[in-house]
């Protein structure tokens, strides 16, 4: 039985070697055939002996156009997809930040000249309330008259209230300035 297995093994090796030998012969034949076809094709093309030199000289004579500054900028930023995505992402983040910031400001701030409804009368809360009594007002006016810098400050304050649209408060400050003079 051991001899039979060795014989079968020897036959398989022999057949594999013969197949491999046949494959090599076929490969060599194909290579020879293709090389002969290539030689026939190349024989039909007549290229002069100095063809390589002339081709090399023409390639040396070719000039590549130099890019201008604007072309470089266009290539680097406008036509660059990665840069476009980066700019779009940055702009989206900035816009989202501005929107969130503005919505927080609008929710957190209240207008100091709010309108309050009491008994169907609309009044401007800050300008309709008198926080200073007569004696205190006279003392305040005397103090303001002694310092001219405070009058300039009140004038700037009046301009600020006018610019911000709080006309009634600006008018109250104007009345106070007129009382000082």
Q: Are 158 and 174 in contact (CB under 8 A)?
A: yes
pLDDT score at 96: 94
pLDDT score at 133: 60
**Candidate from 26-30, 61-65, 113-117, 136-140 with smallest mean pLDDT:** 113-117
CA distances from 172 to 14, 57, 156, 168, 180 (A): 118, 91, 13, 6, 13
In tens, the pLDDT along 73-128 reads: 888 878 888 888 999 999 999 999 999 988 877 665 554 544 444 444 444 555 54
In tens, the pLDDT along 35-52 reads: 888 888 777 777 777 888
Buried b (16+ CB within 10 A) or exposed e, 68-105: eeeeeeeeeeeeeeeeeeeeeeeeeeeeeeeeeeeeee
pLDDT, mean of residues 26-31: 86
Tokens of 177: 């300035």
At residue 165, φ and ψ (nearest 5 deg) are 90, 15
**Among the residues of the chain, which ranges form H helices?**
2-44, 51-61, 69-73, 81-108, 125-128, 134-146, 148-163, 167-180
């Amino acid at each position: 039985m051991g001899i039979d297995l060795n014989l079968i093994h020897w036959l398989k090796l022999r057949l594999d070697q013969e197949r491999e030998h046949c494959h090599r012969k076929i490969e060599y034949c194909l290579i020879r055939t293709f090389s002969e076809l290539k030689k026939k094709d190349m024989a039909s093309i007549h290229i002069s002996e100095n063809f390589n030199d002339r081709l090399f000289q023409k390639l040396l004579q070719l000039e590549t156009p130099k890019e201008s500054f604007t072309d470089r900028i266009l290539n680097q930023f406008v036509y660059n997809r990665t840069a476009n995505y980066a700019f779009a992402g940055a702009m989206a983040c900035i816009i989202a930040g501005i929107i969130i910031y503005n919505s927080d400001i609008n929710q957190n701030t209240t207008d100091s000249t709010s309108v309050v409804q009491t008994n169907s009368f609309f009044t401007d809360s800050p300008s309709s309330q008198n926080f200073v009594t007569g004696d205190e007002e006279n003392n305040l006016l005397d103090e303001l008259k002694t310092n001219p810098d405070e009058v300039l400050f009140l004038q700037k304050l009046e301009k600020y209230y006018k610019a911000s649209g709080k006309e009634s408060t600006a008018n109250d400050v104007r009345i106070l300035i007129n009382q000082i003079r």
